[in-house]
Amino acid sequence: MSEGVTSPAPDPYLAGLRLAGRRVVVVGGGAVAQRRVPGLLAAGAVVTVVAPRITPTLEPHVTAGTITWHERPYADSDLDGSWYVLALTDDAAVNARVVADAEARRVFCVRADDGTRGTAVTPATGRQGAVSVAVLGGGDPRRAVAVRDGVVDAMREGRLDTLPRRPPRAQDASTPLPGVAVVGGGPGDADLITVRGRRLLAHADVVVVDRLAPQSLLAELAPHVEVVDAAKLPRGRFMAQEAINACLVEHALAGRFVVRLKGGDPYVFGRGSEEVEACVVAGVPVTVVPGVTSAISVPGLAGIPLTHRGVAHEAVVVSGHLAPDDPGSLVDWPGLARLRGTLVLLMAVDRLPQIAEVLLAHGRDPQTPAAVVQDGSLPTERVVTGTLAGIAGAAAAAGVRPPAIVVVGGVVALRDRLLPPPVPAPAPGP
Ligand code: SAH
């Protein structure tokens, strides 16, 4: 090799550090430290931060005793007993000193202001189930983040298969077992399912779907996936729900991975608990994946928060599927009428006149703001607003049909403040 030719520095050797119970020293308490400390704590490290000041986000860790803070400038004795060091100040001279002191002690040290001068580098990391990903971008952190995001997204969406060939450990809740996953699909918009729900859906052999589950998700399923419409299951001697339970169990016992895709959250008026119980009884492995319930999200998307400081300190979610005077009703309507907070009624379109009447009869103010939101989160969404006294008539006049959510309470009036003003229609052309 001729003189003057320098070879590039070799690539770092990638390793995973087991930091549980080990002393890690973070020098600096600013924005970079704020980003690194949670990962160190998640790995079980015993973290000491040395810095004259720390960001407010780190303070609760100090108060709770999850990190130790030395409120002063760095001193080389800070590195005593450490396994790993991060030099994260915005002062290059201090960071250089920390790296040198760590080097003298043969402790690996990251340097935030100039990664090439540290003896360790922090990769962009991600995790999906049991799989961890660490990416170094060849000196370009943005490239590392972009690659990391691409890999994690691919795993989440099922484009990159992370399933082991052997059956996974049962305690890993995020890896699908053969069996049943009862998945909450959210209020209807395909984007409002959880990440876990979507990933499990991508692995399904069979999807048993409700009318209110986000139908647009079905378009993404691979051609071999069997889609069963729960409403159309042949019942024979079964009740509808028994037929669904039997269908889940049967497919799972045949070795298929079944996703039971439901609207909203499976455990909010969704009979998800009955389905889970049926699987448990049959000895079928079953997991529940919570969903974004329509009870909260549909009003929210329509500009109605369920609580608001000074307006409502309580919100009650009630089923209106039975008339208030139905002997089978478990709802204390007179009690609800005395409530000052927010009332969220599901399945209440047909009984709305009787429900409003019983609330008024037991003392709720007729002028209480009320709203009905039909098809929340979907392109067909409609909102009818009024007062408790007038809402049943207004909903009927507007032809509101299920699925719809009724909200009663002062929070309904916040809509005007929370929704952007309507865009004025363009002036008609010449
Ligand atoms: N488990 C579901 C609720 C099932 S009960 C959840 O957590 O959301 C069915 C009722 O939910 C409907 O009658 C209606 O009151 C409400 N609902 C579900 N999706 C809705 C939507 N997109 N818009 C309005 N109401 C909805």
Q: Are both 198 and 229 inside the same structural domain?
A: yes
Would 70 be classed as within a structural domain?
yes
Q: Are both 43 and 60 inside the same structural domain?
A: yes
Q: What is the CATH number of the domain that holds 239?
A: 3.40.1010.10
pLDDT number for residue 234: 80
Angle at 21 between CA 74 and CA 102, to 5 degrees: 35
Ligand 1 mean position, distance from CA 223 (Å): 29
Would 17 be classed as within a structural domain?
no
Residue at which a domain ends, from 92, 122, 152:
122
Percent of the chain with pLDDT over 90: 79
Residue whose CB lies within 8 A of the most ligand 1 atoms, among 261, 306, 405, 408, for a mutation test: 405
Q: Are both 278 and 339 inside the same structural domain?
A: no
Cβ–ligand 1 contact at 403 (below 6 Å): yes
Would 71 be classed as within a structural domain?
yes
CB atoms within 10 A of CB 83: 16
Would 139 be classed as within a structural domain?
no
Q: Does the N-terminal peptide bond of residue 285 adopt cis geometry, omega within 30 degrees of 0?
A: no
Contact 353, 374 (CB under 8 A): no
Number of domains in the chain: 3
Residue whose CB lies within 8 A of the most ligand 1 atoms, among 212, 322, 349, for a mutation test: 212
Query: Whole domain around residue 373: which residue ranges?
Result: 295-418
> 31-59: per-residue pLDDT in tens?
999 999 999 999 999 999 999 999 999 99
Residue at which a domain ends, from 292, 312, 335:
292
Residue at which a domain ends, from 84, 103, 122:
122
Would 237 be classed as within a structural domain?
yes
Q: Are both 272 and 335 inside the same structural domain?
A: no
Would 350 be classed as within a structural domain?
yes
Give the Å distances, CA to CA, from 12 to 9, 112, 122: 9, 16, 11
Q: Are both 313 and 247 inside the same structural domain?
A: no
Q: Are both 211 and 278 inside the same structural domain?
A: yes
Would 134 be classed as within a structural domain?
no
Q: Are both 228 and 343 inside the same structural domain?
A: no
Alpha-carbon distance of 13 to 246, in angstroms, equals 53
> 194-224: per-residue pLDDT in tens?
999 998 999 999 999 998 999 989 988 888 9
Ligand 1 mean position, distance from CA 136 (Å): 45
Cβ–ligand 1 contact at 133 (below 6 Å): no
Q: Are both 301 and 414 inside the same structural domain?
A: yes
According to DSSP, the residues that pair with 289 across neighbouring strands are 183
Q: Are both 204 and 309 inside the same structural domain?
A: no
Alpha-carbon distance of 290 to 36, in angstroms, equals 29
> 358-411: per-residue pLDDT in tens?
999 999 999 999 999 999 999 999 999 999 999 999 999 999 999 999 999 999
Ligand 1 mean position, distance from CA 298 (Å): 8
Helix ranges restricted to H, 257-332 = 272-282, 294-301
pLDDT in tens, the chain (430 residues): 445 566 777 889 999 999 999 999 999 999 999 999 999 999 999 999 999 999 999 999 999 999 999 999 999 999 999 999 999 999 999 999 999 999 999 999 999 999 999 999 999 998 887 889 999 988 888 999 999 988 988 877 667 766 544 444 444 445 445 799 999 999 999 999 999 999 899 999 999 999 899 998 998 888 899 999 998 888 777 788 999 999 999 999 999 999 999 999 999 999 999 999 999 999 999 999 999 999 999 999 999 999 999 999 999 999 999 999 999 999 999 999 999 999 999 999 999 999 999 999 999 999 999 999 999 999 999 999 999 999 999 999 999 999 999 999 999 999 999 998 777 767 665 5
